[in-house]
Structure 1
Amino acid sequence: MANALKDQGNKAFQAKDYDKAIDLFSQAIALDPNNFVLFSNRSAAKAGKRQYSAALVDAEQCIKINPAWSKGYARKGAALHGQRRYDDAVAAYETGLKLEDSPALRKGLQEVKDAKASDERGDGADALGLGKMFGDPNLIGKLAANPRTAKHLVDPGFVEQLRMLQRNPSLAQGALNDPRMIDVLGALMGIDMQGFSREEGSDELPPGYQKAEPEPTPAPKPTSPPPQPAASSSKAREPPKSEDVKMADPEEDDEDAKTRKEAEAEKKLGAEAYKAKKLDEAAVHFQKAWDIWPQDITFLTNLAAAYFEQGEYDKCIEACDKAVDEGRSLRADYKLVAKALGRTGNAYAKKGDLPTAIKFYNKSLTEHRTPDVLAKLREAERTQAEAARLEYIDPEKAAQAREEGNALFHKGDFAGAVKAYTEAIKRAPTDPRGYNNRANAYTKLVALPEALKDTDEAIKVDPTFVKAYVRKSHVLFAMKDFTKAIEAIQRAADVDTEKKHDREIREQMTRCEMEMYNQRAGESEEETLQRAMRDPEIASIMGDPIMQSILQQAQGDPAALQDHMKNPAVRNNIMKLINAGIIKTR
């Protein structure tokens, strides 16, 4: 339930429905109050609502539950950043970086340092949120689509001023001295910054909007009604007539829009060539699109895709690197940057450079988490781990480690022996001796479940390794599971065709039988059946219709049981029933 609520909360967070996300994470926390990830997620949602104090409380709780998780310090740093506690935020991020060199932590730390420097300079762009608005790569397009701001774009100087703000948003506050920026802010914020509405079809500019200086003087503050914005004051100068302003169609006069259309046409031609597997032609069109309009990094990511399909992985990486660098300067959508980084990872994976591929997959996921990149990361990690495992195999070094383990075992250093035998297993994973020896050391440490797992692994590696069955019987004997112990030693006898371990097997068989007899002394048939049926395996055998038929036949004709014992599967089941005491033998 908690995980389901967490997933729903994550979806709400991605949709920027922070209230819903907070509610869902809170419900999940009520069910699982020790889940530090839930507190981290709720902290992020509260920060999204700018509830930085509450976000800090959740971040602190996340760290309290798991102080070794670096992301908790990222949440704390973000909350402190929102409160303008820059030095504390820096300390939080730096603590997290000591635990993990995370790109997210490094990015957050740099943002705090930049914000602190910005405040010290007094530019205030971060405080007003202007930097984010003016840094929008689609700024010009949005303004061209708005009737109130489209007319301003006929002035090349004003367009260049907007371009400058895109490149350096920290200059945004100073730019507000230009009255045209009031219209720009209104368009970007979706509100009427002039505080009034004009009649439909009017070409007049709002009161207070003129080229002359000085700025209009606001009216004295009345007691009632509430004060009006200075721009609509009765003392504001008369606006210029409509003929003073050139009202032009931005579609015709905006050269940028025309250039962008030309680039989009080239992109379309490239996409068509790509689908037709004309990859050389596609690459030419995508490159031309970027050359015409170097403002959209999808041209570069598409170019990288064409190179990738051609097997030109170095060119693909070069195009992706350029897309990332240009995307940073253009403040492109983080999803596009993530795609470029993911494609770089794909190219390195194809080149066989898995460590670098993993590095770029992680960078991509830091920008934007997608299932396909995550799956590729996991696959690359598995492939790398398997390659490392195979590279580590060395039978000679395995023999040395095993001998070291034997020496430590004889000295009574069983923990040291386990470590040495583990090294032997890594060096020679298909040699059953390492598992069997480690099982013996685990037995001495009374770590019987681990010892049993090792005997099973030794048998899995080599089903003919007699010593593994003998060791398994000894482990089960120590666990007082005498029925399973006698089954294991019987299996050892079956495998020991050359009778090399006959004496050891017979001695263990006798020990098991004696203990099993003592355990069941005075037990009635009903008690024997009840005890045996508590074993799921015995219950399954007794419920098998074929075995029921065989047992019924054996009651009337005991000799028939010998014929059925010729079938290995039936023989195995019958031996289990004998060992459990259900079938009596004389």
Structure 2
Amino acid sequence: MSADEFKAQGNQYFAAKDFTKAIEYFTKAIEASPTPNHVLYSNRSGSHASLKNFGKALEDAEECVKINSSWAKGYNRVGAAQYGLGNYEDAKKAYTTALELDSNNAMAKEGLKAVDGAQNSRRQQPDMGLGAIFNDPNLITKLKSNPKTAEMMKDPALVQKVLDIQQNPQANATSFLSDQRMMTIMATLMGIDLDMPDLPKEKEPEAEVKKQKVEEPVVAESEPEKETKPEPVPSSEPTADDDPEDSNELSKIDADAYKAAGNTLYKQRKFDEAIAQYNKAWEAFKDITYLNNRAAAEYEKGDYDAAIETCQKAIDEGREVRADYKVIAKSFARIGNSYLKKNDLNNAVKYFDKSLTEHRTPDVLNKLRATQKEIKVQEALSYIDPEKAEEARLEGKDYFTKSDWPNAVKAYSEMIKRAPEDARGYSNRAAALAKLMSFPDAVQDCNKAIEKDPSFIRAYIRKANAQLAMREYSQVMETLNAAREKDTELGGKNVGEIDQLYNKAASQRFSGIEGETPEQTMERVSRDPEIVSILQDPVMQGILGQARENPAALQDHMRNPEVSKKINMLIAAGVIRTR
């Protein structure tokens, strides 16, 4: 592979934030380059800085400016590395040089602001008196010649610690606490004899490296991802460079500018113009966020096939550079939404599921569940067939006649699937379920039949029979009263059957218990809560008073449905005798 090919690989890994791999490929590019290339050293310096390896970042940055001393960005790299090492004055010099070469250099301006802030913060920190103790320019020579510290000073790591404190006492005021030898050095410098034995050389503790967490912004499905402005810290994650002499590619900064322009056009619903800007961003820098944004614009434009194709490309490119799984998840989710718009529900479910495999979010999970539910609804609708429903009804009737109740239930269930709005299917299945002694299920089917057709009197009667079998007498009477009211509206064709069943229920409810005298039965009935409520009703008391004086008046009151219901209840209970 050529240096340019290695460099392109390095840029891809850099974009994917795999800085270790980026360093590997930039190193290969440096080795393969026929002449020293300042851009390659700049890119590797940026990768080292991203891993907080500021010493190596500084070496590469200095090599970069050595090769091309007129390139402002090289000095930005030097400044960022020096800043990371805490050498603020050196960082300031580097950023100042960058501005001298390019007065509009934004990175250098931000770097100087960060350096000034860090220096102000350092001045406010106490140095625990170390500045005065370690300010001797011949400090190292004196420590090497002092019998108490001479042996210790053979350790380069310890010498570096002393130099660090001498250069930045505020920033390194607490470092001596991690190494007991520093206490001996301090005592020696202060003229105190601690009578401490020579200590063995200790391994310098590793500095903790806190990884910077980069979060994807939360974006509505149909909106492109919004750009977030990074903090103005020069040691924060830099961007890879492209050689302006050898490549026509634009920098990441320019690519983000295209993206920002695209986002503005997107909000103005100028989708074609937005897509053009996202294309420029993608051509400038291979970050799949730009492709996701382009797909969002295509989706809003209504070009769902294009959105699917763009998202698939984003996934493929993202896999190659090991992009953040959250960004990949967004691509899969947008494909799912596009298929949803195309009413291709099975593919929508497939891609929502893939999105959740990458990264689980409540929004995509809800869409998956809603789509699965809609698939079931559509499958049920596609199964509807009135002709086959009639075939199933006749088949169920045949099984019912032969007393094959299980197969009758099965056939009527098929009828319900084929014609879910036909009340007869539920009512017929209720009759078969009642034969199987499954009375609660029969009541449920009758309720469904009444819901589908409130004038279907047969469903009321079957429901009352099932309730009677369960000895739910008050519910039976309530069901039959509703049936009587609806039947009266329809001409009263079923009133005889309704009254007969009503009387049967009332008789069972208020009939005497074995061994009970008529007086005892009457006493028990008179305590029935429903009977007590009727007898205590002032209106009913007036009606019953009139009936005692004029029995014919009772017939007039029976024309009122509510009064009729209560009088029938009293008749059934034996409180009113008709003979």
Shorter-chain-normalised TM-score: which range? Answer: 0.5 to 0.7
Counterpart of 2:386 in structure 1 is 395
> Is residue 288 of structure 2 the alignment partner of residue 297 of structure 1?
yes
Which consecutive residues of structure 1, in runs of 5 or more, have no partner in the other structure? Answer: 1-130, 158-182, 184-193, 204-222, 232-247
Q: Are 1:369 and 2:334 an aligned pair?
A: no
Match of 1:228 among 200, 203, 211: 203
Contact 2:49 2:235 in 1 (8 A): no
Residues 261-300 of structure 1: pairs in structure 2 closer than 5 A: 261-294=253-286, 296-300=287-291
2:375 maps to what in 1? 384
Q: Under a length normalisation based on structure 1, what TM-score does the superposition of the two structures give?
A: 0.55
The 8 Å contact of residues 20 and 47 in structure 2, kept in 1 or not, is answered as: no
CA gap 1:563/1:288 in 2 versus in 1, 3 angstroms: farther
Residues 305-324 of structure 1: matches in 2 within 5 Å? Answer: 305-324=296-315
- State how far apart, in whole Å, the 2-side matches of 1:487 and 1:362 are: 50
Amino acid at match of 1:259: S
Cα drift, residue 135 of structure 1: 6.9
- SS across alignment from 2:511: helix
Shift of 1:421: 1.0
Deviation at 1:201, TM superposition (A): 9.4
Contact 2:46 2:238 in 1 (8 A): no
| Matched letter for residue 348 of structure 2 | A
Deviations 1:261-284, CA, capped at 9 Å, x for gaps: 111111111111111111111111
Whether the aligned pair in 2 keeps the contact of 1:153 and 1:254 (CA below 8 Å) is: no
Instruction: Quote how far apart the aligned CAs of 1:377 are.
Output: 1.9
Q: Which residue of 1 aligns with 2:441?
A: 450
Would you say 1:355 and 2:346 are equivalent positions? yes
Larger radius of gyration: 2
Partner of 1:517: 510
Q: 2:414 — aligned with what?
A: 423
- Contact 2:557-2:564 within 8 A present in 1 as well: no
Residues 402 and 424 in structure 1, CA contact (< 8 A), matched pair in contact too? yes
Please show how residues 7-156 of structure 1 align to structure 2 within 5 Å: 134=20, 143-145=48-50, 146=52, 147-151=54-58, 154=61
CA deviation after TM superposition for structure 1 residue 501, in Å: 4.3
Is 378-387 or 487-496 further displaced after alignment?
487-496
- The 2-side partners of 1:156 and 1:566 are apart by 108
* Greater helix content: 1
Greater RCO (Cα-Cα under 8 Å, separation 6 or more)? 2
Give 1:572 shift: 8.1
- Residue 224 of structure 2 aligns with which residue? none
For 1:354 and 1:494, locate their aligned partners in 2 and report how far apart those are by CA, in whole Å. Answer: 47
Secondary structure at 2:164's aligned position in 1? Answer: coil
Q: Deviations over 1:151-185 (max 9, x none)?
A: 3555999xxxxxxxxxxxxxxxxxxxxxxxxx9xx
> CA deviation digits over 1:120-146, x for unaligned, max 9?
xxxxxxxxxxx9884799998664354
Q: Deviations over 1:55-101 (max 9, x none)?
A: xxxxxxxxxxxxxxxxxxxxxxxxxxxxxxxxxxxxxxxxxxxxxxx
Tell me which residue corresponds to 2:529. Answer: 532
Structure 1 CA distance for aligned equivalents of residues 354 and 464 of structure 2 = 51
Cα distance, 1:371 vs. partner?
A: 2.1
1:532–1:582 contact (8 Å) kept in structure 2: no
Aligned position for 1:481: 472
Percent identical across equivalent pairs? 38
Deviation at 1:439, TM superposition (A): 0.7
Q: What is the CA-CA distance between 1:477 and the residue it aligns to?
A: 1.5
Q: 1:459 to 1:315 in 2, by over 3 A?
A: same
RMSD value, Cα: 4.5
Q: Which residue of the partner structure matches residue 330 of structure 2?
A: 339
Shift in Å, 1:250? 10
CA distance in 2, matches of 1:154, 1:576: 103
1:148 Cα offset (Å): 3.5
Check whether the contact 2:45–2:61 (CA below 8 A) recurs between aligned residues: no
Mapping of residues 190-209 of structure 1, within 5 Å: 199=164
Which residue of 1 is the match for residue 141 of structure 2?
none
Question: For 2:391, what is the secondary structure of its paired residue?
Answer: helix
Aligned residue type for 2:319:
R
Q: Pick closer, same or farther for the CA change 1:313–1:353 going to 2, 3 Å.
A: same
Q: CA deviation at 1:498?
A: 4.9
Q: Deviations over 1:187-232 (max 9, x none)?
A: xxxxxxx8975616979xxxxxxxxxxxxxxxxxxx974763799x
d(CA) in 1 for partners of 2:564, 2:358: 58
- Cα 1:230/1:583, change in 2 over 3 Å: closer
Query: Shift of the alpha carbon at 1:416?
Result: 2.0
1:460 is matched with 451
1:508 aligns with 2:483: no
State the distance in 2 between where 1:249 and 1:227 align. Answer: 30
Is 2:241 the counterpart of 1:255?
Answer: yes
TM-score by length of 2: 0.55
Contact 2:329 2:355 in 1 (8 A): yes
- Cα 1:156–1:495 change in 2 (3 A) is farther
- Per the TM alignment, residue 409 of structure 1 is displaced from its structure 2 partner at its CA by 2.5
Question: Cα offset for 1:524?
Answer: 6.5
Cα pair 1:136 1:331 within 8 Å, conserved: no
Cα distance in structure 1, aligned partners of 2:239 and 2:428? 84
Structure 2 residue runs without a partner (length 5+): 1-16, 24-42, 65-83, 85-156, 169-197, 207-233, 244-249
Give the partner amino acid of 2:462. R
Q: Which moved more, 1:371-380 or 1:255-264?
A: 255-264
Would the alpha carbon gap of residues 529 and 326 (structure 1) be closer, same or farther in structure 2, given more than 3 Å must change?
Answer: farther
- The superposition leaves residues 218-252 of structure 1 with CA deviations (integer Å, 9 ceiling, x where unpaired) of xxxxx974763799xxxxxxxxxxxxxxxx99999
Count of aligned residue pairs for this structure pair: 379
Task: Find the counterpart in structure 2 of residue 105 from structure 1.
Answer: none
Superimposed CA distance per residue, residues 347-375 of structure 1 (whole angstroms, 9 cap, x where no aligned partner):
11111111111111121122222222222
Letter in 2 for 1:517: F
SS in structure 2 at match of 1:199: helix
Deviation at 1:548, TM superposition (A): 5.1
Distance 1:140 1:552 in 2: 101
My pick for the range that moved more, 415-424 or 304-313, is 415-424
